Amino acid sequence: MSLTVPFKQVDVFTEVPFKGNPVAVINFLDTDESEVTQEQLQAIANWTNLSETTFLFKPSDERYDYKLRIFTPQIELPFAGHPTIGSCNAFLEFTKNTTATSLVQECKAGAISLTINEGLISFKAALFDFEGISDEVITGYEQSLGLKFIAAPALLRTGPNWVVALVNDAETCFNANPNFAMITEQSKQNEHSGVILAGPKKNATVRNSYEIRAFCPVDTIDEDPVCGSGSVALARYLQELYKFEETTKITISQGGRLGRDGHIEATIMKEADGNTSYHVAGHAITVVNGKITL
């Protein structure tokens, strides 16, 4: 009993095809969720071989615009950054919606608020803690990366458990040649997902423009090309370090060493109620458009 439904492979954090981070999006908006099994969804995500494959379903109630299920080749995730932005873009195209300025995504992590502004799609990150790490572990990561950090790294649980570490400048970050076996060892010992390495760009007048790289060899890939959750982690880390008092946009470049050219905008937002929230925005473009047969 074969089922054929709409399919898109979307490039995220770029406006130029093949320069961002891809996500495969499968449109089950007209398929009852009970018609497909967990095993089928996992098998599809294993087969696409992308870091994430997502499935759009009708939402469970009308507070949400759609329900998103997100799978890596191995497991289902409660939430992920670039798949959320890519899937929102696909949802708008699938439903021929050209006017929406805000949407609510239902996913295992809860309700995710999305805003759309001239093609730039933004999500508000869920709350997460800032946690220090020991000097011994910091030294281990410095040795793994073959360089010195300019401030104490911290652990940010933004979905993955990212260690954020800052180096002197963007070039140092770009040129880093990590020892992936050593990072794997450190990550395993400390239950970390990987390291977000960031270096400030020279021309930035305030501390708000960075080159970053995401090393996650303990997972399936050594380096993630363009990373939404890592950008949230960096924004939160910078807030702790520099105590920004006003809403601040952090512009991030990522992926150059992998032949990509990703652009991420992370915002440290000062809310009217005095709280601080974290947002990640990026563009997305559909590269493959067609149908998939199950």
93 binds its own copies (CB under 8 A): no
Hey, what are 292's tokens? 């998939």
CB of 75 to its own copies, least distance (A): 13
Q: How far is CA 252 from CA 46, 145, 208, 263, 287, in A?
A: 30, 20, 8, 6, 23
Indicate which single residue of 150, 182, 241, 258 sits in contact with its own copies (rule: CB under 8 A). 258
d(CA 191, CA 275): 29
Q: Which residues contact 1 (CB under 8 A, 6 or more apart)?
A: none
- Between CA 274 and CA 284, with CA 280 as vertex, the angle to 5 degrees is 150
Q: Residues for the chain: how many in total?
A: 294
Positive or negative torsion for Cα 272, 118, 69, 61: positive
If the CB atoms of residues 274 and 290 are measured against its own copies, the closer one turns out to be: 290
Among 79-87, 123-131, 139-147, 281-289, which window interacts with its own copies (CB under 8 A)? 281-289
287 binds its own copies (CB under 8 A): yes
Alpha helices in 5-134 (DSSP H): 38-48, 81-94
Three-state SS across 231-242?
HHHHHHHHHHHH
For 235, list phi and psi in degrees, rounded to 5.
Answer: -60, -45
Tell me whether residue 265 is one of the annotated catalytic residues.
no
CB of 293 to its own copies, least distance (A): 6
The contact pattern for its own copies, residues 158-197, with x = CB under 8 A and - = no contact, is -----------------------x----------------
5 binds its own copies (CB under 8 A): no
If the CB atoms of residues 108 and 291 are measured against its own copies, the closer one turns out to be: 291
35 binds its own copies (CB under 8 A): no
Beta-strand relationship, 248-254 and 209-215: parallel
CB of 17 to its own copies, least distance (A): 6
If the CB atoms of residues 42 and 115 are measured against its own copies, the closer one turns out to be: 42
State the greatest distance between any 2 C-alpha atoms of the chain, in Å, as a whole number. Answer: 60
d(CA 275, CA 263): 26
217 binds its own copies (CB under 8 A): no
With left for phi above 0 and alpha for psi between -120 and 50, is residue 231 left, alpha or beta?
alpha
Hey, what are 258's tokens? 């992998």
CB of 279 to its own copies, least distance (A): 26
Catalytic residue of the set 52, 93, 106, 211 = 52
109 binds its own copies (CB under 8 A): no
CB of 22 to its own copies, least distance (A): 6
The contact pattern for its own copies, residues 40-79, with x = CB under 8 A and - = no contact, is ---xx-xxxxxx----------------------------
Indicate which single residue of 63, 259, 274, 275 sits in contact with its own copies (rule: CB under 8 A). 259
If the CB atoms of residues 14 and 158 are measured against its own copies, the closer one turns out to be: 14
Beta-strand relationship, 262-270 and 276-282: antiparallel
Residues with a known catalytic role: 52
Question: Which residues in this chain contact its own copies in the complex, by CB under 8 A?
Answer: 2, 7, 11, 17-18, 22, 43-44, 46-51, 181, 258-259, 285-294
